[in-house]
Amino acid sequence: MSECGTAAPRSIPTIGLVGGIASGKSAVRSMLAELGCITCDSDDLAHQALRDPAILRSIGARWGDRAVRNGAVDRGALAAIVFADPGERSHLEALVHPWIHARRRAMFSAEPGTAPARVIDAPLLLEVGLHTECDSIWFVDAPIEARQARALATRGWPAAELARREAAQWPLDQKRALAHHVLRNDGDPQSLRSRVEAALADTIRTHAHAKGT
């Protein structure tokens, strides 16, 4: 089920971040937040959704104590269930995506003030059609070895788990081909920051030109 809905007014551009798992999208989002952008972390919203009482009850009704323990969702156990069965994953997405979209919509509908752009960081941005709400798609590119090391260090995922989860997403070449900007993340934060600033400036210029301002 898609997260899509009526897009927020595009008085400022909306940027969608895509890339491989552990490529550094969160780092790019943080840099854009420091540059004044309104940023939305769909992973964080998904974690919040799993604590919503209504969603928690639905998960309990569907998967019982395989996924709910001590009154809370066991995210690791739930992930094992849904990544093993596309039908179960679709069921979970149908519960969680509308909740996420409603909160993103509220966030982006607020007066933007001096914000230069809105930013959506969502793992399935292309897969669920959220790119239709974006004016610019940015692909964060990092070598597989660096991504594997980062996934192991920050999430405890071995290479096989990273590959399993990434198999549920579009191929990276397909994501890269749809991007307006490809940002190389070679592990140097200052270089990445420079690329983010240049891409943001270009996105703002392109959006202003498209609006005729």
DSSP result, 140-172: EE--HHHHHHHHHHHH---HHHHHHHHTTS--H
Q: What tokens were used for 152?
A: 């192991």
**Residue 175: partners with Cβ closer than 8 Å, 6 or more residues away:** 18, 19, 126, 139, 169
Summarize pLDDT for 109-161 with one digit per residue, the tens. 876 678 999 999 998 999 989 999 999 999 999 999 999 999 999 999 999 99
What the chain holds in terms of domains, given with CATH numbers, is: 14-208 (3.40.50.300)
Assign residue 187 a region (left: φ > 0; alpha: ψ between -120 and 50; beta: otherwise): left
**Residue 148: partners with Cβ closer than 8 Å, 6 or more residues away:** 22, 159, 162
Summarize pLDDT for 24-80 with one digit per residue, the tens. 999 999 999 999 999 999 999 999 999 999 999 999 999 999 999 999 999 999 999
Q: 3-state DSSP call for residue 69?
A: strand
